Structure 1
Amino acid sequence: MTGELVLVTGGSGFVGAHCIVRLLDAGYRVRTTVRSLGREPEVRAMVADGGADAGSALSFTVADLLSDAGWAEAVSGCAFVLHVASPFPAREPADEDELIVPARDGALRVLRAARDAGVRRVVLTSSFAAVGYGAQHPDRPFTEDDWTDPTGAVSAYVKSKTIAERAAWDFVAREGGALELTVINPVGIFGPVLGTDLSSSVELLRGLLTGAVPAVPRIQTNVVDVRDVADLHVLAMTSPLAPGERFLAVAGPPMTFPEIAALLRSNLGDVARRVPRRVLPSWLVRVLAPFSAPLRQVAPQLGMTRNASNDRARRMLGWEPRSNEEAVLATAESLLALRLL
């Protein structure tokens, strides 16, 4: 039981709430940023649903990625920072700067405040989007040595994550002083949902279970369980081997959406009665994408295979993720428990 204070940015989010649960279970005190203190009861309920007893060990402060206000107070007295908060759009914005500016400038605000406050290490939640887009590697899996080219034909979200992570590494190299930085690059995050504010990956799965998607597209997704992403953040926060490293958070080989649909039907019985059996032709996905937010998210992935290696996290940090199947089924079971189906 360490009792050290850790700041988690974006505690109301899917990953942020699970990071809080993991830290509290490990005996840390946690402060988390929210845009409004009115969200405190909601976050406390999410943490309780995750199985953690927060009590006085969890506190709240207001800070926004678009403003300098509040960040000095947020990091004051903290030994570590998990910078999890970042925008993730339901649809492609009209102006890519709507994503790029808060992602990049928000990361720099957090790093600058952490450096000035004497924080030992920041663990930044980046994304596989900063690793494996704009290129194909049919002969080998993607690793942490790979980088997405943000000048290529990539979405605003992919560009924002790449630019923000590059800016973070550049800042620490030039101006970081004694501050240590470690980066986590998760793939599509599934696993137990703690609240009603659903991530894009979970929304896609919910669409299958509710019948909102009449047929599944022939695309692949990489999978990781949110609980394992939280575990990896804490391992990266504490390991002496982690500073200066990126770690891919991926459970195993990619799954196709027809495989995910079959998994749900074979394990969930009547709950999965509306999961489609038909496969949506790729040409039709492209035709319908402008009229459907979920299809708009997946259309660029048609024909893509992105194998990614978790060897570095396993070897250096002893990380042992759950299987793809466990992550997907846990997502569905939590949606059912929260009456979101």
Structure 2
Amino acid sequence: MSEENKEKTWYKKKENWWITAGIIVAGIALLVPFSILYGTGWKISYEQFENLGVVGDFFGGTTVGLFTLASIIMVTAAIVMQKEELALQRKELNQTREEFKAGNATARVQQIDNAFFNMLSLHHQIVNNITFAEGGDPLTGREAITELKKIYEYKFAFRQFERETPEEEREIWIKSSQTKSQFLEKVFESDYLITQKDLDEVYGKFHATYGNIIGHYMRNNYRIVKFIVNNVANDKDEQKQIKEKIGREPIIGDKRYYFGMLRAQWSNAEFELILINSLYSENHKFKDLIIKHDVLDIEETEKKDMFQGRFTLKESMNKFKAYRKLIEINK
């Protein structure tokens, strides 16, 4: 606002009215005694100066009350001005607090993002350092993970083969690749053969053999998922719940974004092994997180009301139908 506009609007301020009123009263206080003297014919002379004491009492009696009133008005003006200044200071303080909160929230988001992407960087380092060699040239990285997934699936297929084949005929497994393919298809194209007991037995043996190669990879993925769950809330209610639970205030954001970024780092073989790992009974905490937050984006949501709260596998995730019974649980 220009100086001209400020001058035009001076009368809108309460304190200016009080100051003007105080000046007017003070001026009246000065004029009243002289006006009375003038009206009564008082003239300056030597004899009159001898009665200055009486004049002093007269001036005091006619002005002190008005000057006191002027003082009260001025004090009132000062109080009004001080009140407005305090209100302005409170407003500025609130703005500063809001700016601080906004800046703090932004810094917190940056802190979470930096930590998250550092964890993804560590994820890639772990993948690249995975090395596996069994009866051939060493495999590294995602090639090693793909081979490990095949080994797990063959172990499951062989278990089913043992169940259905007499002991004297089991040599056919080694000689016939067609037999292996048939049992792989039988186990993993069915949605009723794999039970929790079967998976615990097969994956337990698999983990006992290859856990030193891939165990830290699985634990790192669990920690990343746990980090997202504990540091990102979808709304204020969830933010409050997380803070009460862990004592640290999470940011308000979209978990799906972070889970999506994590899934984008996985190959198909990684995706499948991570799901299988979570279904293993000893890793129930990982499974609970995956099911509760749909970390893998495998839940049917378009027809969710039809299933009355049950976690239901998407039709597009048909490759996991062998594990359907273990995935589709009541929340």
Please classify the TM superposition score into its range, dividing by the shorter chain length: under 0.3
TM-score, normalised via structure 2 length: 0.23
Higher RCO (C-alpha 8 Å, min separation 6)? 1
Q: Which structure's residues are more often helix, by fraction? A: 2
Greater CA radius of gyration, 1 or 2?
A: 2
